[in-house]
Structures are given as structure tokens and as C-alpha cells.
Chains A and B, each alone.
Chain A
Amino acid sequence: MLISRRIITAVGLVLAGSAAQAQTAPWDTVPLQTSNSPFVLSLPGSAETPPPVQKAEPFALGSAGFVQPANVQVVAPARPLVDESALRYYAHNGEIGRVSAEINRLKSLHPDWEPPEDIFDSNKTAVNEQPLWDLFAAGKSQELYAKIREFIKLYPGYAPTGELRRQIMNAEARKTVLRASEVGNYPDVVKTVAKNPTLLVCQEMDMIWRTAEALYKTGREAEAFAAYQYILANCSNPDERVATVQKAAEILPRQAVEKLVTFGRTGIDGQSEFNDIFLNIVRGEVGKAAADEMLLVERADLETLTRSAKLQQNPGDAELLGWYYYSRQDYEQAAEWFNASLKLRPSVKAIEGIVISLKGAGAYEEAENLAYENRRKDPLILKAYLEVMSIQILDDLDRELDFKRLSRFANSIEEAESANGAQVLGWHFYELYDFDEAETWFDKSMKFHPNEAAVVGLILVAQRNKQTKRQNQLIADWSGDFPAVEALNRVRRASASSTQKRSSGGSKSYSNSSLASARNAFNSGNYKEAVALLERNALRGRETRTSQLLRGWALFNSGRSKEAHKIFAAADAQRSTKETRQGKWFSEKAMYKYQ
């Protein structure tokens, strides 16, 4: 495709040109706060020489929609070019007669021309600007401006020469653009670059990117597109070109991005330079959709990715398609893609994908075996294995497991310290009336992480085994934590109060503090409740001596004198008081009588 390297319009140039005239120079006034400069721009190369000649005209605002390769418009300057060199030469030499003759000659050639007012200025002062360039190159703008003001005072009629002036103005504009762009003040970005049109050149890539963004954010979408297009048509740095498409993809709609991609150059491998980035965009889209099943994905995107996965043998794309189809609950396609990916490259994620896809498809046996074989490769695969097993066991709780599957599961539960897996096995054995095995697993489950299913299991096992004391203890210990246990507790209380008359436990206090509740429970004779509350408090690890001793008495009064004795003995060893000695004595007595 033939693209003009000079995309420029008369409108743009006029806009840019007039705006540039209206600016005041930064050194015109002394800044109020010199320390307020947020950052210092480093400038490219040595400032002693002017910037390299640009191949392309700067990007001009208002140029949207004018990409017409065969229709290059080169617009004449607003004012005619007048060769003033002879005039200045004579002026410099003080040859006034010759100056006058030259003015007449030029006027006859260019009727509208007026001689510049400054032709004799250089005659008076010869200013060496090198110190200014040095300051500029060092980025010391405030010092530079002070120096310029000093020069103006020192050499009447002095003004920075064109190139220095342009560079200073651009540097200032650059700062303004950055600042405005960073805080999202997009109108200021657009305003600033409009005044400094020479900022929008390939050497100032960042400025074009920020301008494009600002244009888009201020509703000038077509111009934003044109800015990106300008880069692709005129600028040659391959990294910057790729970055341009990436940035465009972040803000422009997909169609616009796809259009930009067509400006890519074809490499020696026959692939567009934007092939990867386009694929990345597609991957991003499909990836987003894989994480959010409500998102729709273009059919073309899936096809693009499918091509990449199949023809380019890209395992990542195959895996991504796996996740996409998994999110769409198309488990068979998902498993197929994960398998395809796995064939191309070993990947733990792909294995996990296959496992959960098989699980989703209900192919539990296959999922179980694959997950088990790979369980050590990733905790997520181990987790998936435990889940697959749990699902299958829960599906048919009293179906006997063959020993191999049982031992694999048991060993993996231990390895993962899976409270859930352990309680599932507990219920499995409970259903098989194997209460010893069930109890072992419920106990394990509680050890790994206390949970309702396991504690209810333990309570029911205790009930089956007619271990009333244990049953009550479990209920007392856990009814505060699990609603189901609390429900069992209510049932138990209801049946207890119906058979035996009890004195009221006093008015119930619903204090926020469990310690206060514990004390209330203790004072109203509900020692087991007090124990449960105090034990939970102790488990939090910040038990005061007072609540520790209260726990001792609560235990003592609930008939758990052995544990009470342990507490009192420990407290006594720490600091022996009358209370600790009493506690020890009473619990010891009760202990030996009880035993």
C-alpha cells in the first residue's frame, strides 16, 4: 500500500502556525515558584546542533480523514520567501546606502514585503548563545530563563535565536503535555500541542501518543485515529510502531485497531509486523471472555486463535481456547484443546484444565486418575483430585470404594491436610455403619480445620456409640461456632427440659463480649457454656490470668477436674496465690475421686 509520507493539510498548518505566534516565551516573566517544576526533561543529543531534519511534516491537528495516498497537497507558505541575506549583510557592516538600495530592490520584487525591524541589531551585539544551549541541554530551565533575561538586559535588542527559541518552547510544551496528560486534563493536552505543532513528529513519539489519547478522550476520535495512522505511515522505529498499535488497541474500538493493523509492513517471514500484536489483542479479548462468561467473543477472534493454535502449533493459544470453552461449559471442546496444548508442551495448567474439564463433563474416573497422577505438580491439581473424589463419594455415599482408590484418597487428604476431603470420607464410612473409621476421619477433618460437617459427624458418631458425655461436650464446645450444632443443642435442651425440671439460668445477657457472656454463664451455673466460651477465648491466644482461672473453675464445675487441675497448676507455677492453691487442691481431690 502506498501511503503518503506527508499527510498535512492547509487547515492544519494555518491552525498550527497562528497558534504558535500567540505564545509568550517562558522567560518573559520570572516564575513565582521556581521549585514547583515537577520534573526535568532530558533532551536528546547535544543541543549545540539543531535537531535532525525531519523526513515527514509534523502531524497536524484536524487532519482526520485525509488519508489519500495519491492526493498530496503541498501548500504554499502564508508569506512569500524573501532573501534578506544581502540586506542583513549590509546592515551588519553599517552600509546604510546599500541597505536602502536593497530595501527598494526587494520592495519592487515583493510589493507586500516590509523590512524586518531588527536588521541592524546584530550589528550592535554579538551574543554567544552557547551558555544558553548548555543550560538547556542540562535541563536547567529556570537558570536558563534567568540567563536569557540577563542577556536581554546586557545586550539591548537581544532575543534568543529561532532554533533555541523553538526548542525551549517545545520543552515547555512537552512538560505541559506530560503534566496534563498524567492527570487526565486532556483539553489542555490538545491545546498545548496545537500551539506547538512541531512537537508532533516521529522523534517525539510519546507526544503523539499522548495527543492521540487526549484527542480520543475529548471526543475527537477520528483525529485520534489519524494520529496513530500518521505514525504508521511516517515513523519507522519497529518497536514504536508495535507500541503504537498496542496503545491504540487500549482506547480505540476493535474495528479501528484492525484498520490500523492493515498498515503493518510485511516482514521477510511473510508475516505482518503486527501479527503478534493482533494475536495478543485477540488473546486479550478471549482471555477476558474466559474469565467472564457474560462477555461475548467475536467468531472471527475464535477463528484467529484456532488458526494460531492449529497451524502455528501455539500451545498457549490452544490452552487459552481450552479455558474459553471451559468458561462456556463446553467441557468436551475444552478438554480437547487442553489436550492439544499438552501435546505441544508440558504444562501444569493444561493438566489442571483437562482435569476440571473432564470433571465438568462428568468423566470423573478419567479426571480422577489424571489428577492423581499429577497431584504433586501443582496444589491446584491436588485440590482438583480431592474435589473429583469428593464429588464421586458424595454422589453415592454408601458405595464401597475399592482399596486402591480409598488409600490414594486417604493419603492425599493427609498430604493436603484437606478438612473437606476428610469429612467426606467420614460421612462415607458413617453411611457404611463403620463408625470407628468415620470417627477417625471426622477427627482428622477437625484437626485440619474445624468445620460444621465434621463436628456434626462426630456428634452423631458419639450418639451412635452412646457416648453421651462426649456428645454433650462436643455440642457445648462448638454450638457457638456452627448453626447446625446449635440446632442440635436446642434439640438436646428441649428434650432435657421436658424430662427434668430445671431452675432458670437467669436473664440472658447478649453482651458483645464473649468474656462477659462467659462470666454470666458461669454465674448462672451454665458451666459448660462458660467453658466453651472461655476455651474459644483461650484459643485466640490472649487469655488473661483472670479468664484463665475462671476457665479453671468452669472446667472444675463441669466435672473436667483433670483439665482444671492442669490450669491451676500452671497458674500456680507462674505465681502462687490463694486462688491457684485452692483450685489445685479442689481439682486434685475431685480428680482422684472421679478416676
Chain B
Amino acid sequence: MLCAAVIVSMMAAGGVFPAVATEVIGQSARDNEAVSLWLKSAWREYAKRFVTADGAVIDDGNQGISHSESQGYGMVLAVAVDDRELFERIRDYTFETLQVRKDHLFAWKVEHTDKGPNVADTNNATDGDLLIAWGLVEAYKSWGENENLSSARLVLKDIAEKLVRDTGFGPVLLPGEIGFSSGKGQEFTLNPSYWVYPALEAVARFDTSANWEEIAVVGEEVLDLSQRAPSYLPPDWVDVSGIKLDPAEKFPLEFGYNAIRIPLYLALSTNAYREKKVADFAALKGFDAPGGPYVVHVVSGETQSVMGGKGFAAVAALTRCMDTSEPFPPELLRVGADPYYSSTLQIFTVLALAERYPQCLSQEG
């Protein structure tokens, strides 16, 4: 697996894969009337349930807070369904309320109190920052507003300066500015699901403050090394020291609600090799049949619990369809009941299917 990653990194560096035309996310979905109708309907429901009049995206499964991640997801989805008005509302709220640090990164957590929003933790969450930058880039691609691109570049520059660290594998993404490195800055706790591959690929075309493509390739390598016997599911968190990688000690030794996004991000990638890795998930525990996915203990391989929610089941179904063309189950297209996180993954899954594997949805389209 290590060899494979190295080969890919060589291929990427050598430019074997030409850059795909920079389509805006959701372009294929927009072109497919049925999918487009579903997405707009799902988005209306999503906006009604999770987006406030001010533009805060609420995580109802998490004491109703907002975070940079939910704001970022909201921005990307708004572009994907071509909802410029709502995109701008979410964007403006994000900048006003969360961009309160001395840099251009975002405080990761906002509580909603009677007296208004309250930033509860000014530490950043790198995936949130990356999602916001991605949303801005997509908005720029879609509507051509330069300010979106320049805002994105400011965020990316700070990610590159503060959160990209060199390791034995190459440059990695630190999950946050504070609390994830130790041992004189040589040991890191990383989160493989913070590598938002489609975001890295998209921003790489508009920003050179870091080698985003290389970071993506290193992310794959981190992922490969984290997938171990007996389950071969990646843990949510890993410890990296030199070229040594292990499930993180400070966190539960689980494949869980973080790592479930990995196959989804891989599927949203425009890189064929990353798409293939999605199919590889289809054979793993909890992915190989309806009923999953599960939170799995990565050391014992035992199932801890079922991830309840259409969004999680949708990710698993996506991997199966990409592996064996198993049609995407129509019941996973129902909206309106799942909480924020599951609903978000559900819409992104349909986006991924519309972009990459429309035949999985053909029964509906």
C-alpha cells in the first residue's frame, strides 16, 4: 500500500493526470433535471431546519452550536445548488462571527445564547477552514466574484503557514493550531478525515501558498497506513512520529463519525485513483451490506454501535455502487428527519453520485 501511494505521488508530481477542467461543484447535478430537483428540495429542507435567518448553520445533534465545519458545508452546498443568496448569508455570518482570531482562520465553535452568538473556543479546526476556503473558491468559479477568491487565499495562506507540518511522510495537515503536536514538534495527532480531497484539489488551482496536491497525496499515505488488521477501517485519529503511525492514544481507538467522511471525500475527488479507493471501502465491515456502517474498534475489529442515519448509510451505499454498481437505495433519498450531520453527508453523497456515478441514481432519474 505504501508503494502504491508513492507511485501515485510520483505520477501526480510528473503530471500524468492532467488537471480536469475546473467545473464548479454540482455542475453535473445542475445539468440533470431530476437530480437537480432533488437537490434543491433537499436544500430547501436543509436550510429551513438548520440555517438561521442570520446565516448560522446549526448542528442540532451537538447542543445546537455552529462551527466552522457546518458553516463551510453550508457554503459549499449553497454553491452546488446555485443558491447565491443563501451562500452570501452563510458566508457573511461566518466571517462576522467566526473570523475573530488575529489571523484569517476561524474559531471552530460558536454557541447560540440569548444574548447572541458566543465564540466558545477560538482554536481553529483545519477541516472547517478548508471547507470555507473551498466554498469561497467554488463561489468564485460559479459567480465570478473576486472577493470570494481573495478571501479564500487569505484563509489558505494562514493554513499553509500555521497548520501544514513536515513529517516523515511529507507535509501533513495539523487538525488545529493548538493541542495536536508534542515532543518538540516532532509528534503529531492527525485526523485522516480532515483531508478534504475535493477541497484540496479545488484550491490547488487558485492558490500556491502550499503544495495542496502534495498534501493530498500525503493524506492518502496517512490513510493507507492507518488502515490495518483486522478491520482495515481507518481510525478517526492517528498519532504520527517520524514514519511511525498508530491509532491515536488520546482518542477512542475507533473508526467512527469522523472517518466515515473519508470515502465520501474520496468520491468527491476528481482523481481516478482516489475514486478507486472508495470502491475499496465497499468490502469493509459495515460497508459491504445494508445495515451499516458501524463504529468499529480498530484494534479488536469489533462493532461498537450502528451509525444511525441516512447520511451514513448513504456513504456506505455509495461505496457499494462504485464497487459493484449496486443501485443506490431510493429510501436513502428521503429527507426531513435526520439531524444536521447525517443530512449533510446525505446531500454530499448524492452530489458525489451525480458528479461521478450518475448511473447509481438512474432508477430515480
Contact = CB atoms under 8 A, between A and B. Distances in A.
A413 B284 CA distance: 11
B289 A376 contact: yes
A404 interface: yes
A64 B316 CA distance: 75
Interface string B258-301: 00000000000000000001011101110011000000000001
A467 B231 CA distance: 25
A406 interface: yes
Interface string B291-320: 000000000010000000000000000000
Interface string B1-33: 101100000000000000000000000000000
Contacts of A407: 227, 232, 280-281, 283-284
Given A411-B284, A414-B285, A440 B228 contact: yes
Interface in A385-439: 400, 403-404, 406-408, 410-411, 413-414, 425, 429, 436-437
A436 B283 CA distance: 22
A441 B280 CA distance: 20
Interface in B142-194: none
A546 B176 CA distance: 59
Interface string B231-265: 11000000000000000000000000000000000
A403 B280 contact: yes
A437 B246 CA distance: 12
A210 interface: no
Interface in A5-26: none
Contacts of A410: 229-232
B240 to A, nearest CB: 16
Contact of B283 (A411, A425, A444): A411
B302 to A, nearest CB: 9
Most buried by A among B229, B281, B288: B229
A216 B277 CA distance: 71
A411 B303 CA distance: 12
B147 to A, nearest CB: 43
Contacts of A408: 283
A407 B288 CA distance: 10
A407 B284 CA distance: 6
A437 B227 CA distance: 11
B301 A414 contact: yes
B227 A403 contact: yes
Contact of B229 (A373, A376, A404, A437): A437
A411 B230 CA distance: 8
A441 B283 contact: no
B1 A403 contact: yes
Interface in B213-231: 224, 227-231
A444 B231 CA distance: 11
Contacts of A437: 228-229
Contacts, number: 49
B243 to A, nearest CB: 14
B1 A411 contact: no
Contacts of B228: 436-437, 440
Contacts of B288: 411
Given A376-B289, A425-B229, A404 B301 contact: no
A410 B231 CA distance: 7
Contact of A404 (B3, B231, B280, B285): B280
A403 B221 CA distance: 13
Interface string A435-452: 011001100100000000
Interface size class for chain A? Answer: 10 to 19
Contacts of A373: 324
Contacts of B3: 400
A406 B232 CA distance: 9
A425 B228 CA distance: 12
Contacts of A444: 229-230, 301
Given A404-B280, A407-B280, A441 B232 contact: no
A408 B279 CA distance: 11
A397 to B, nearest CB: 16
A83 B267 CA distance: 107
B230 A441 contact: yes
A425 B230 CA distance: 10
A407 B229 CA distance: 9
Contacts of B279: 404
Contacts of B227: 403, 407
A440 B230 contact: yes
A413 B301 CA distance: 11
Nearest to A408: B283
Nearest to A443: B230
A167 B232 CA distance: 82
Contacts of B283: 404, 407-408, 411
Contacts of B324: 373
B232 A414 contact: no
Nearest to B2: A400
Nearest to B288: A411
A425 B224 CA distance: 18
Nearest to A375: B288
A461 to B, nearest CB: 13
B1 to A, nearest CB: 6
A373 B320 CA distance: 12
Nearest to B299: A440
A410 to B, nearest CB: 6
Contacts of A403: 1, 4, 224, 227, 232, 277, 280
A364 B78 CA distance: 49
Contacts of A440: 228-230
A373 B231 CA distance: 19
Interface string A357-383: 000000000000000010010000000
B130 to A, nearest CB: 26
A414 B230 contact: yes
A444 B302 CA distance: 12
A134 B280 CA distance: 82
Contacts of A441: 229-230
Contacts of A404: 279-280, 283
A119 B285 CA distance: 98
Contacts of B285: 411, 414
Contacts of B280: 403-404, 407
A594 to B, nearest CB: 24
Contacts of B289: 376
A407 B296 CA distance: 15
Contacts of B232: 403, 406-407, 410-411
A430 to B, nearest CB: 12
Nearest to A422: B230
Nearest to B301: A414
Contacts of A406: 232
A60 B266 CA distance: 87
B245 to A, nearest CB: 11
A410 B228 CA distance: 10
Nearest to A429: B229
Nearest to B324: A373
Contacts of B1: 403
6 contacts: A403-B224, A407-B227, A407-B280, A408-B283, A410-B229, A411-B283
Interface of A: 373, 376, 400, 403-404, 406-408, 410-411, 413-414, 425, 429, 436-437, 440-441, 444
Given A407-B283, A411-B284, A414-B301, 20 more contacts: A403-B1, A403-B224, A403-B232, A403-B277, A403-B280, A404-B279, A406-B232, A407-B281, A408-B283, A410-B231, A410-B232, A411-B232, A411-B283, A411-B285, A413-B230, A437-B228, A437-B229, A440-B229, A441-B230, A444-B301
Q: Which 4 A-B pairs have the closest CB atoms?
A: A408-B283, A440-B229, A407-B283, A407-B232
